[in-house]
Amino acid sequence: MKQGGIGVGSASIVLVFAVLCLSVFSLITFVVAGNDKALVDTEAGLVTGYYEADAQAERIVADILEADGIPEEVRGIEVNTYWDFEADADITYFLYPISDQRSLFVSLAIRADSYDILSWRMYDTDDWTFDDSLDVWQGPSDMEFGDPGDVWAGLDFDDGDPMDGWAGLDFGDG
């Protein structure tokens, strides 16, 4: 006589499926953790580079302000200057490299007795190229849907009262 219940074969299949699922989930977790670490390392390098460039830019600004006149080069960095008549100041600016793709852009307005920081920001120096490899839909053309001005053609807004043009429309409010 045959006895009922779950046999050894079906329990083995469930066990193999569970082990397979756990293995796949652990592999996915391992890959995601590796990608997260690479992203964090990249971000840490960018932040470290920014603050190193920031500290060097502070030193360059101090050297510019202490110099007799505005130098053309400070600490190996080219310094550019022009006179702005509206601001009544020398506008001095330079780029300090953070990485191969980014630089710190610093711009100062230097007067005889004071100075103002006009800009202190990260600037992408890498060449940017437009990617048009995907055929992206640009929206409807006038030939497909008609002239968008036709929507307003039946409304009269020319008499000065802005509500007169809406009089013929039913907004469903009663």
Taking only the tens place, the pLDDT of each residue in 43-74 is: 999 999 999 999 999 999 999 888 888 888 88
Query: Which tokens is 76 given?
Result: 């190996």
Q: pLDDT at position 60, please?
A: 92
Q: What is the pLDDT of residues 60-114, one digit of tens each?
A: 999 988 888 888 888 888 888 889 888 888 899 999 999 888 899 999 998 888 8
The answer to whether residues 109 and 91 touch, using CB atoms and an 8 Å cutoff, is yes
Q: pLDDT at position 169, please?
A: 52
Q: What is the pLDDT of residues 116-173, one digit of tens each?
A: 999 999 988 888 788 778 887 777 655 555 555 555 555 555 555 555 555 555 555 5
pTM of the model: 0.58
Other C-beta atoms within 10 Å of 53: how many? Answer: 20
- Going from N- to C-terminal start, the domains of the chain cover 15-124
> Is the pLDDT at 9 greater than 80, yes or no?
yes
Query: What are the DSSP calls for 100-138, one per residue?
Result: SSEEEEEEEEE-SS-EEEEEEEEEE-S-------S----
Only one residue has tokens 């409304």, namely 155
* Single-letter code of the amino acid located at 36: D
Element (H, E) at 53: helix 8-66
